[in-house]
Chains A and B, each alone.
Chain A
Amino acid sequence: MANFFPRWTNFLPLKIAICAGAVATGAVFAFTYYATPKTLAAGYQPSQPIPFSHKIHVDQLGLDCRYCHSFEDVSGTSNVPGSNTCWNCHQHVRKDSPKLQPLRDRMDPTLKSPDFGKPVKWVRVHKLPDYVYFNHSAHLNRGISCQSCHGDVDRMETVYQKNSLSMGWCLECHRAPENHLRPLEEVFNLKYDPQVYFNEHQAEMQNLGVKKPEDLGKVLKEHWNIHSKETCATCHH
């Protein structure tokens, strides 16, 4: 009887097994990469009812974060400004811009718009699950800047989510807060550069015993008695 199966088939089961294993591993890797907050959430950039540009207001005009997000260092939630905050300036500035029409409709009674008095529905960009408690003031008052989580908001034309905001990402910083700590005076300075700060404050750095810019965080952590927690109740209750 002739051999039904040629010789090369001897290793076929093994090859199939290896291939299947490779495909399965690949699928797992692909899933972990593509279906985690890193790719699902980061980069989310919805369009807003009014195309507000942080770049113009913060980077070019130099507005402080707290002009609009006035309670971010007081409250757990960083507030989004009410239309009256926008109206403070925009009843005088850029009175004809079509982009600001929704704001005028809401604030200017003479236009008699049906939207008058209604709030603006901003699309939420950064969203944590309901079972996560995050407190803005706890971070801003202890030397963590807006930038650490939100990225270079000051240079964003339209706001997008820079970081994954996943639990692993939070813990990364909670385990080593020194990488993000900066002097309280610099928390709202979105152009902060440790090197520049180091160069400009030589005497202060010497006083603190900071030899290179990277060490500043460590010294601040010690000075300020910072023990960022990793237990569940820190964020979940």
Chain B
Amino acid sequence: MSKRIWQHPEVPADETTVSWRSVGQLEDTPHFRSWMEREFPQGVAEMANEEDAEVSRRSFMKLMGASTALAGFGLAACRRPESYIIPYNKAPEWVIPGKATYYASSMPRPGGAVPLVVTTFEGRPTKVAPNSLHPDMSGTDAFAQASVLDLYSPSRSRTVLNNAQASSRAEFEKVLATVAADGAAKVAFVFGHDDSPTRARLIKDLKAKFKAAEFFAYEALEGTQVLADGVAQVVDFEKADKILSLDSDFLCLDGQGKTSAFFNRRKPEGAAYDKKANPDSMNRLYVVESVYSMTGGMADHRLRVAPSQVLRVAAQIARELGVNAGSAVEAITDEKHLKWIKALAADLKASGSKSVVLAGSRQSAAVQQIALAINAALSSAAVKGVKRDTSGLGNFDGLVEKLKGGAIDTLFLLTPANPVYDAPANAGFEAAMAKAKTVIHLGSRTDATAHKATWHVPVTHYLESWGDGRTLTGVYTVVQPMILPLYGDCVSELELLAALLTADGKLITGETADGKPSPAYDAVRATFEAIGGKGDEPWKKLLRDGFHAKSTYESAELTAAAGTISAPPAASGVEVIFSTDGSVYDGRWIDNGWLQEAPDPISKISWDNAALIAPETAKNLGIYDEIVQLETERAAKSPDAEGPQRTGPLIKVKVNGEELVLPAMIAFGQAENTVVIPLGYGQGFDKEDKFNRNAKGNSPASHVGLVGVNSGFNAYPLRHSETKYFATGASVEKAEGKYPLALVQEHFAMYGRALAREISTMEDEKKGDFAEQLQNVAKQGNDAHAPENISLYKQEDKKGDPHLSDKIHQWGMTIDLSSCMGCNACLVACQAENNIPIVGKEQVMKGREMHWIRMDRYFAIEKPEAGKEKDVFDLGNPALVPQPVACMQCESAPCETVCPVNATVHDQEGLNVMAYNRCIGTRYCANNCPYKARRFNFFDYNKRNPLIAHNLYKGPFGEKQVGTAPHLQRNPNVSVRMRGVMEKCTYCVQRLKDAKIRQKRGQKQEVLLTGERSSQLSVSNETLRIPVDSVKVACQEACPAGGIEFGNLLDEDKSVMGRAKKSERNYELLHYIGTKPRTTYLARVKNPNPTMPDAPSIGKATIHMH
């Protein structure tokens, strides 16, 4: 079933932008062609041969015949099965069956708590959303959105383990009681890097009770702390006109301040689209980094250098600015780089206190000190220091030292990290830990540390426990439970500390036997009394709002601990970057199916990690051809004898005396001579593993659940204390074999011209100045000359009403590419809201992922004229353009006209609706969708667990997952789709329905208040129209960048979406084919500095897919 091929005109001669999604496309391999032309790759829709298939056609006929015959006998008992309605015995107050209740809470994170509003149905949390009342609200990221799944995760730890053997809570309580009774006990506590005022208070009490107690904090990727103990830097992006990031991913994985202020200033019309487009209102972002990060993708100017060179660049910038820091560091000699740095320094200087330099937390102390020195010299107004409550905690090295010295008898590991797995390989943590008599590990997974500890105690999820936290700027934020702990053995950190503080060490969790709240509640309340005042009023307000407004951190001096900046050692060999993973972070999310399946925002790989190598380096190493070739080759048959398999060739990376064999992938925009290995994978393997990695017994399958098993390669053993984030002197060589990779970068590849559009605030010879470029946004690509399409279909129904006849609501959406960074938050939020299943690695490889939002990621570069390649600043540094694509809700939808059963039709409000129960699965609609926005349920992903090997292919004999915990997460207002039906974005129609019905009810209340007879009342369209922008769709709500606006087109200018549509940047995706989409895009604006050497090539990354 090939798609209809739209004959695109030849590429115009003056078109200089080359754009691509994947290395396969750049090299124009036949395999990629097939992805472009087909809805699904060849062979995906068919079983490869009949013998391998579950039932052949012949036996299917036999079975059907037999069952029809048998049905005759069965008819007599054809009565509907009895089902029950089970109400509460004593109905609790405030619970209305069938209606969601929302609570303010927050998720504790190392970078500051994330303020949330949690949706619960009959006391069952199903979805989290950012708390828009909160002053530090900055959307949510994919991790926060996916965290609700962890509550119901089947692989969640739920029983107490003693030396990795099942034990009981009663046994553990005895141990705890003996510790609590002994005030002289040599105890030590290791916390995470989240900040909890209650915990800080309890630590003081613990210090008083246990005289010999020691306190530490540890997380695997905690970064380098150069500021004084407990001091952190907070950035106010509203005050930052020019931002230089020295390898700081401050927009995503390395948060340093509220990012919404940054994104607001990426929109030239202002955050609410209420001003005239003004390039001067935009900020400018410079990024120096080694490998593409989300922040790097947003950069106006990006310099790619190897990690060892970041310090040199930083020192050079300081030198240009006349800052006396890092003068011992060798100067930059590369002409191009020098020019880049000079222009940058001049720009920073010109903006003075409105400039800010941010160093990545993973960078060395030297780079961070230089950044601090530059900020001080510029007297940057955007940064300030704050004093967190976490001061006084020892670091990891101190912990290991104390353990080795035998100063700790009882060790409480309360950190969310997994030190046995993720501590530096040469730190000897495991051996040191063995010296403690008792190690008590509190964790949500039975990971490596849980198995090595004397006691493992399952921890409660943050949605089940009382707690508190502070956001980045220190606003006091409460963590309140939505539900009692699902499993009786679970203990929260505060409950454990509270138990230690009692004389008898009695552990009380959840609630007491006589219904009193947990001791954590009392502890939090006591802490809050000191902050927000006594009595019920402030407490109730805290619970309602989720935060206490008048609380912030005390400010602190931003001075680095003294230390001279010496020149870095000369780098030799290949440099290795141990990167924080966008899906599993440091490895803690490995058992979260949503995150594992969400493709990495940059590399677009799901379910695994792989070594990323820049194309030039790969060529030098002699593996480029192999990668490109193998990516396109199809293995003869996959284990299920079905569909294609994509593989990556294996390479061997040797560094720090260790070696790791893992598949390699080409990454663009990465510094030459580097290899990136994302951390956090390879935690457990079972016998299905291709490399038999569990044979050594060090990573057994019991360390992970079904989601994380056999997933990826563990790079932690390569990491030493001195080289936690970057290592030099590595060697890379080819290894035997290849490894299947679930790469989604070519899946659902669209083609067409000017898909994502980009303009620049800088004047261009051909394209004119900003105003002209702005005007021409809607005329980019084919839209400049393609004639308007004429519809052959009637625009009204039989009665003569127009199809889009509703006069109350007409829905529409805008997606602003200028603020979208492509972080996957929307994708995961959509999955949570709309009951979208995960399908597992095997199915993803076949292009059957179910995500309604496809996060396209394009690369683009300006093609130099022949002979002028040398003049181009950096050919290996293409622009990165993300573009989320979901159903566009076309007014003239091509899918609707081809459905043989009218399962997808239009409603009067402009929604392209999908009736699942009517769909018979012809997939014609998906074939006719030019945006490739439709997804097909090839299997019963919701019912049969796709993660059990070969389970889907067993049909009715496959293992079911109905009734297990993950089903409690489902949104009750969205149908759970079955096998054989098509699905796609619905604009969260369930939310729209809810809002409309609420509005109608409000109207009735009004009538009753006036006291008139209801028949006298006349209800107008305005009464029935929901308030402007009062309903938010899931992706819009989650977006940390404010990139998605949704609303009623009939609200016109009153709606933010309506104003965005009026912007000159507004354009329709594939306008020229005449689908009239309701979702439109706003072109990306780059704000380059005209004096920079790379400026002429910035802001031209308009994506054409031919």
Contacts and interface: CB of A to CB of B under 8 A. Distances in A.
Interface in B1004-1035: 1004, 1007-1008, 1013-1021, 1023-1024
Given A74-B1001, A233-B986, A237-B974, A82 B1015 contact: no
Nearest to A237: B989
Contact of B85 (A80, A83, A204): A80
Interface string B895-936: 000000001011110010111111000000000000000000
A124 B85 CA distance: 6
Contact of B86 (A46, A77, A121, A207): A121
Q: Which of A46, A73, A118, A231 has the most CB of B within 10 A?
A: A231
Contacts of B87: 79-83, 119-120, 122
Interface stretch (A58-66, A90-98, A133-141, A147-155): A133-141
A224 B1019 contact: yes
A195 interface: no
B91 interface: yes
B563 interface: no
Nearest to B978: A131
Contacts of A83: 87, 89-90
B531 interface: no
Contacts of A41: 80
Interface stretch (B93-101, B181-189, B452-460): B93-101
A229 B801 CA distance: 14
B702 interface: no
A82 B1014 contact: no
Given A79-B96, A79-B98, A133 B1019 contact: no
B1004 A141 contact: yes
B905 A231 contact: yes
A6 to B, nearest CB: 37
Contact of B99 (A76, A127, A224): A76
B1001 to A, nearest CB: 5
Contact of B997 (A46, A118, A138): A138
A236 B977 CA distance: 11
A220 B1013 CA distance: 12
A229 B916 contact: no
Given A138-B997, A225-B1019, A76 B89 contact: no
Contacts of B1019: 223-225
Q: Which of A46, A80, A117, A204 has the most CB of B within 10 A?
A: A80
A35 B907 CA distance: 31
Interface string A49-88: 0000000000000000000000101111101111111000
Interface in A131-186: 131, 133, 135, 137-138, 141-143, 183-185
Contacts of A124: 82-85
Interface string A209-237: 00000001001100111010101111011
A135 B998 CA distance: 11
Contacts of B25: none
A18 interface: no
Nearest to A133: B973
Given A40-B80, A75-B97, A225-B1020, A129 B917 contact: yes
Interface residues of B, number: 55
Given A137-B997, A231-B913, A233-B907, A74 B85 contact: no
Contact of A237 (B990, B1003, B1013, B1023): B990
A225 B80 contact: no
Nearest to A138: B997
B564 interface: no
A49 to B, nearest CB: 9
B83 A185 contact: no
Given A84-B90, A223-B1019, A231 B975 contact: no
A236 B84 contact: no
Given A79-B96, A85-B91, A142-B1000, A232 B973 contact: no
Contact of A220 (B90, B1008, B1015): B1015
B976 interface: yes
A82 B91 contact: yes
B907 A77 contact: no
A74 B1004 contact: no
Given A120-B87, A229-B908, A236 B1001 contact: no
Nearest to A125: B85
A16 interface: no
Q: Which of B98, B917, B986, B990 has the most CB of A within 10 A?
A: B98
Given A77-B97, A223-B1018, A237-B993, A204 B1013 contact: yes
Contacts of B73: none
B1016 A204 contact: yes
A44 B79 CA distance: 10
A183 B1013 contact: yes
B742 to A, nearest CB: 30
Contact of A75 (B96, B903, B1015): B96
Interface string B574-586: 0000000000000
B957 interface: no
A207 B1016 contact: yes
A208 interface: yes
A118 B96 CA distance: 19
A81 B917 CA distance: 31
A104 interface: no
A119 B1015 contact: no
Interface in B480-524: none
B793 interface: no
A160 B89 CA distance: 24
A236 B1020 CA distance: 27
Contacts of A76: 98-99, 973, 997
A69 B557 CA distance: 62
A84 B87 CA distance: 10
Given A85-B91, A229-B908, A237-B990, A131 B917 contact: yes
A124 B914 CA distance: 28
Contacts of A85: 91
B691 interface: no
A142 B997 CA distance: 10
Contacts of A229: 907-908
Nearest to A85: B91
A55 B726 CA distance: 79
Interface string B2-25: 000000000000000000000000
Given A231-B913, A237-B990, 4 more contacts: A40-B78, A85-B91, A143-B1014, A233-B989
21 contacts: A76-B997, A84-B88, A85-B91, A121-B84, A127-B80, A127-B83, A138-B997, A141-B1001, A142-B1004, A183-B1015, A185-B1013, A207-B1016, A216-B1015, A219-B1015, A225-B1021, A227-B806, A231-B906, A231-B907, A232-B918, A237-B913, A237-B989
Interface of A: 40-41, 44, 46, 71, 73-77, 79-85, 106-107, 117-124, 127, 129-131, 133, 135, 137-138, 141-143, 183-185, 204, 207-208, 216, 219-220, 223-225, 227, 229, 231-234, 236-237
Q: Which 10 A-B pairs have the closest CB atoms?
A: A77-B98, A231-B907, A184-B1014, A233-B913, A82-B91, A232-B915, A82-B88, A75-B98, A131-B917, A141-B1004
